Structure 1
Amino acid sequence: MKIALVSEHTRPLSAHRGEPTCGGSVHVSSLARQLARLGHRVTVYARRGDSALPDRARMGRGVTVAHLAAGPPRTLTESESAEHTGAFATALAEALVDDAPEVVHAFGWTSGLAALSAVRREAAEAPTPPVVQSFHSLNVAEQRAGLPRRDERVRLEAALAGRADAVVVTSAEQRFELARMGVPRTSVGVIPFGVDTEHFTVEGATAASPWRRRRDERVRIVSVTRLGTGGGAEALVETMSRVPEAELVIAGGPARDDLAIDPDARRLELLAKEHGVDDRVTLVGAVDRKELPRLLRSADVFVSAAGYEPYGGAVLEAMSCGLPVVARAAGGVTDAVLDGTTGILLRHARPDALGRAIRQLAADPTSRTAFGIAAADRAASRFTWQRVASETERVYRRALPQEGDLPLAAGDDAH
C-alpha cells in the first residue's frame, strides 16, 4: 500500500535522528517506519521549517520525507502556520498528483484541511484516496486546561472529523470530546501513542551526572516536560519543599547551554531558591532521545504534573524503563497508567497532592518495585509502535472501498 502521512508542523527527520523534538514528530516518524516494516511504501509530507532541510530524504527503508515550501523556512506559531496552510495544500496537491497514494493520513487540524483540499483538487481527474484524520490535541480539551480558546479551530476540528473517511485519536478522553462535538463515538478509533521498547528498556546504563551529593540517600525523581506554562514544572519545584527526602531533575526546554538565558529556566531557579530547595532541584535542558533512557533509569519515580498531556509519550517511556509513575489523570496519561498498579493517578497536580503521592512511594520501596515491573510489562504489551502501526493499518484497510467490511482498529481496549 502507498501511504501519504501529512503532518504539516512536525520535524520527522529530527525525531528519526534522536534529537529533542515534539511528540507529534515522534509519532509520525515512528509510525512511518513501522508501517514500512509491514511492507508499505510511506511518504511523509511536512512543511519546510528550515532552509537547510532537503526537498526529499530517506528515513529508512520504504520511508521518504518530502518537505514542501509553504511560508517562511522557520518554526511558526499555530496562528502563523494556519496562514500558510493554503500554500501547503497547493504544494501537497501537486505532490500527490506526481506520486498518488492509496490512502492519505493527516495529523492535526491544519494538516487535515490541507489533505482534504489537496484530495478534492484531484477528484476531477482520478479516483480520490480515502482521508484518515488524526487529532493529537483538541482545542476544547485545551480550553479546559487553561490554554487559549480558538473558536474557529473548534469548528474546523468538528468539520474535519465529520468529513474524513476515518478518524483516529490517541485517547478515550479525546473520543469523548469529539462525541460532545457531535461526532459519533462508533466512528472514532482509539489508537494510543506508542513507545520504542527496544530503546527504552529496564536494563542498561544509567546517567548519574545530574544528581547532587548524597544521592544514594535520596529518592530520585525525574520529569520530562516543557518549562513554560502548562508543563507543571512550577508545581514540581514547589512540591520538593514537601518531600525533603527526595531530589528532582527536570529535563526539557532549551539546550543545557542555553538555560542561563532562558526566562522560564530562570523563573524556576528563582522559585527553587524561594522555597529553599535549589540544592535538590536540577534543570538539565533538552535531552537527546538516545540519552533519555539512561536518565530515566537513574531515577526511582517519574512524575508528570502537566495540566494537559495529549500524548502521554514521556510517561510511556518512563514506564518502559521500569519506573513507577505519579501523574495527573489527563489525556493519554489516563489510558497509559493504571492507578494502583503501575503508578498513582491524581485528579489535580497540586503540590500537596503530588507531595503525598511521592512520600507514599518514597516510604515503600516494595510498591515502587512492583509498580515499575507492572509498568514495563504494560508498555511492552499494549503500547509498542509495532502494535500502533498494525492497528493503524487496519483503519486504512477499512477505509479502502474494496475492503470496507473489516473492523475498526482494536484500540479501544487501552485498559
Structure 2
Amino acid sequence: MKIALVAEHTNPLPAHKGEPTCGESVHIAAVSRQLARLGHRVTVYARRGAANLPDRSRMGRGVNVEYLSAGPERPLAEHEQADHTGAFAAALSASVAEDTPDVLHAFGWTSGLAALSAARGDSGGAGRVPVVQTFHSLNISEQRSGLAPRPDRVRLEAAIAGRADTVVVNSADQRFELARMGVPRWRVSVVPFGVDTDQFSPEGGTTAEPWHGRRQDRTRIISVAPMSAGGADTLIETMTRLPDAELTVIAGPAPVELALDEDACRLELLAKEAGVNDRVTLTGPIERKELPRLLRSADIYVSAAPYDPYGGAVLEAMACGLPVVAKAVGSVTGAVLHGTTGLLLRHARPDTLARALRGLIGENTMRSAYGIAGADRAVSRFTWQRVAQETEQIYDRTLASQGGLPLAAGDDAH
C-alpha cells in the first residue's frame, strides 16, 4: 500500500542530530517506520520550515519525507500557520498527482484541509483518494481544560471531521467530543499514542544526576513539563508540602537555555522563595537516549499539565516502571488506570497533588505494584508496533468502505 502522511507543520527529521522530541514528530516518525516494516511504502509531506531542507529525504527503508514550499522558510508561530495552508495544499495536490497514494492520512487540522483539497483533485491533483484524519487535540477539549478558545478552529475541526472518510483520535474522550459535534461514532477510531518499549523499560542503568540527596534519604519525584505552561509552578508549590521528597523537572521539547530563559529564571526564583530550591532541580531538554536512565532513577512520575494531548511522557515513565500521579486530562486518561498503574486526579492543585504523592511516598509496596502494572500495560497496549498495526487496519477498513457499506457501529481499533 502507498501511504501519504500529511504533517504540514511537523518535521519528523529534525535538523539537529538525534531523534524528534515533539509529540507529533515522534508519532509520525515512529508510525511511518513501523508501517514500512509491515511492507508499505510511506511518504511524509511536510512544509519546508528551513532553507537548508532538501526536497526529499530518506527516513528509513520504505519511508521518505518530502518538503513542500509554502510560505517563509522558517518555523511559523501558531497564529501564522493557517495563512500558508492554501499554498501547502496546492503543492501537496501537485505531488499527489505525480504519485497517487492509496490513502492520505492527515495529522492536525491544517493538514486535514490540505489533504481534503488534494484528495478531490484541486490544483491538478489526483482523483478521489480516501482521507484519514488524526486529531491529537481538539480546541473544544482544550477549552474545557482552561486553554484559549479558538472558535474558527472549532468550526474547521468539525467540518474536517465531517468530510474525512475516517477520523482517528488518541482517547475515548476525544471521540465523545466529536460525537457531540455530530460525527457518527462508527467513523471515529481510537488509536492511542505509543512508546518505544525497547528504549523505555524497567531494565537498564540509572543516574545519580541531577538528584541532590541519596535515594534512601528522599523520595525522588520527576516530571517532564514545559517551563511556561503552568504545571511546573504547581509542582514547585507542591514540594513545600513534601519535606522528605525532591523534584526534578525536565523541560519540554522546546530548546531551553536555563540561564537565559525567563520562565526558567522565574521558576528558580519561585523555588528559592518557597524554600525548596535545595530539593528542586530544573533541567533543559534531555536527549532521548539519556531519558530512560533518568526516569529509572526516580521513584514517582507526576504531571500537573493543564492539558496533555499526547500523554507520551506519561507512557515513557510507565514503561520504565514508575507509578504515575497525573491530572486526568487528554490522552492521560487512556494511559493511566486509576488505582492500578497510578492515580488520576480531577484537579492538579498543590494540596491535591501533595495528598496523592504522600500516599505513595509512604507505601513502597503500592509504588512497586503500580510500577509493575504500568510497565506491563505499556508493553501490552502502547507499543508503536501495535499502534502501526491498528493504523493499518483503519486504512484497510477505510478502503473497503469505499465499496459502499459503512463500518459497523462501535467497530474501532481500540
Give the Å deviation of 1:20.
5.5
SS for the counterpart of 2:257 is helix
Give the Å deviation of 1:392.
0.7
> 2:352: which partner in 1?
353
Distance 1:67 1:244, change over 3 A: same
> 2:316: which partner in 1?
317
> 2:303: which partner in 1?
304
Give the Å deviation of 1:343.
0.3
Instruction: Give the aligned residue type for 1:327.
Output: A
Q: Distance in 2 between matches of 1:236 and 1:179?
A: 34
Q: Deviations over 1:60-91 (max 9, x none)?
A: 11000111111112111222011011111111
> 1:56: which partner in 2?
56
SS for the counterpart of 1:59 is strand
Structure 1 gaps, min length 5: none
> 1:129: which partner in 2?
129
Structure 2 gaps, min length 5: none
Percent sequence identity is 66
> 2:413: which partner in 1?
411
Distance 1:15 1:22, change over 3 A: farther
SS for the counterpart of 2:413 is coil
Distance 1:403 1:34, change over 3 A: farther
Q: Deviations over 1:10-40 (max 9, x none)?
A: 1201399644521011111111011101100
Q: Distance in 1 between matches of 2:17 and 2:194?
A: 17
Q: How does 1:13-412 map to 2 (within 5 A)?
A: 13-14=13-14, 18-19=18-19, 21-121=21-121, 126-230=126-230, 232-253=231-252, 258-401=257-400, 410-412=412-414
SS for the counterpart of 1:258 is coil
Instruction: Give the aligned residue type for 1:134.
Output: T
CA contact (8 A) 2:90 2:118 kept: yes
Distance 1:129 1:20, change over 3 A: closer
TM-score by length of 2: 0.95
Q: Distance in 1 between matches of 2:126 and 2:103?
A: 14
Give the Å deviation of 1:97.
1.2
Give the Å deviation of 1:204.
0.7
Distance 1:85 1:187, change over 3 A: same
SS for the counterpart of 1:264 is helix
SS for the counterpart of 1:80 is helix
Q: Deviations over 1:321-341 (max 9, x none)?
A: 000000001111001101111
Name the stretch that deviates more: 69-78 or 368-377.
69-78
Name the stretch that deviates more: 25-34 or 117-126.
117-126
Distance 1:281 1:252, change over 3 A: same
CA contact (8 A) 1:233 1:268 kept: yes
Instruction: Give the aligned residue type for 1:249.
Output: T
Distance 1:248 1:20, change over 3 A: farther
Give the Å deviation of 1:4.
0.1
SS for the counterpart of 2:259 is helix
Distance 1:403 1:254, change over 3 A: closer
Instruction: Give the aligned residue type for 1:127.
Output: G
- Aligned positions, number: 411
Distance 1:391 1:39, change over 3 A: same
TM-score by length of 1: 0.95
SS for the counterpart of 1:192 is coil
Give the Å deviation of 1:213.
3.2
Instruction: Give the aligned residue type for 2:129.
Output: P
SS for the counterpart of 1:84 is helix
SS for the counterpart of 2:216 is helix
Distance 1:110 1:79, change over 3 A: same
Q: Distance in 1 between matches of 2:125 and 2:275?
A: 68
Q: Distance in 1 between matches of 2:236 and 2:300?
A: 15
Name the stretch that deviates more: 391-400 or 113-122.
113-122
SS for the counterpart of 1:14 is coil
Q: Distance in 2 between matches of 1:22 and 1:254?
A: 6
Name the stretch that deviates more: 269-278 or 141-150.
141-150
CA contact (8 A) 1:20 1:287 kept: no
Give the Å deviation of 1:409.
6.5
Q: Distance in 2 between matches of 1:31 and 1:255?
A: 22
Instruction: Give the aligned residue type for 2:354.
Output: G
CA contact (8 A) 1:394 1:409 kept: no
Give the Å deviation of 1:229.
2.3
Distance 1:82 1:335, change over 3 A: same
Give the Å deviation of 1:52.
2.1
Give the Å deviation of 1:402.
7.1
Q: Distance in 1 between matches of 2:62 and 2:362?
A: 50
